[in-house]
Amino acid sequence: MIKENIEKIRKLIPENITIIAATKTRSVEEIKQAIECGITDIGENYVQEAEKKFNEIGNIVRWHFIGHLQKNKVKKALKIFDIIETVDSFEIAKEISKYADKKFPVLIEINSAKEKQKSGIYPEELEKILGEISNLPNITVSGLMTMGPFVENPEEIRPYFRLTKQLFDFCSKLNFPNVHMKILSMGMSDSWRIAIEEGATCIRIGTAIFGPRK
């Protein structure tokens, strides 16, 4: 099933779009199957869960952190992940810069719908925080990430993806050091088509690859 699902998605998306397999709660066996079918990027939400999987799988894939990162987990996260997609404050960026031994790539998480219960930077705060983060010695800002709100009809998420792409384009023109806008991470199993239409360069897919979570 995993093989068929990946092949089906691959046929529908442009070659330059990266599929990040979102593997929260998925077994090492399932992840290995996905890798055998050409998946090169894995997304994990929890440092502890990722650590166990990383110890078995290793760095044959690129590991993305796509959950909410706590300050006390930063040091451990840097040993596992190749990129952290969910930087949502200057404080967390400062912590990453403190423990990274080289320029570490991050994405800024945008709370595009301004949902109080969700993490992420509000659109109007982005320029200020990006300016602060860009001066940290061991960080490269490689792009933006957004979740968007949970909606019944995926079409309703389009304005939030569009807004995030506008912010991405805006940031590309800012002359901040250590900011190189290359990655726009948007869209999940039910919304990836719209995300690609609105400019995503990578999509985070769980259910559409592995089936419903048990």
pLDDT single digits (tens) 31-79: 999 999 999 999 999 999 999 999 999 999 999 999 999 999 999 999 9
What pLDDT does 214 receive? 74
Q: Is the pLDDT of residue 174 over 90?
A: yes
Task: Tell me the CATH class for 2-210.
Answer: alpha beta
Alpha-carbon separation of residue 213 from 22, 26, 111, 208 (angstroms):
11, 8, 25, 11
Give the chain's mean pLDDT. 97
pTM reported for the whole predicted model: 0.97
Q: What is the pLDDT of residues 3-15, one digit of tens each?
A: 999 999 999 999 9
Q: What is the pLDDT of residue 213?
A: 84
Label the pairing between strands 83-87 and 41-44: unpaired
Measured between alpha carbons, how far is 163 from 30 in angstroms, rounded to an integer?
34
Answer whether 189's CB lies under 8 Å from 207's CB.
Answer: yes
Residue reference for tokens 């800012």: 174
What pLDDT digit, counting tens, does each position of 159-170 carry? 999 999 999 999
Q: Where are the beta strands (DSSP E) in 8-138?
A: 18-22, 41-44, 62-65, 83-87, 104-110
- Residue spans of the domains in the chain: they are 2-210
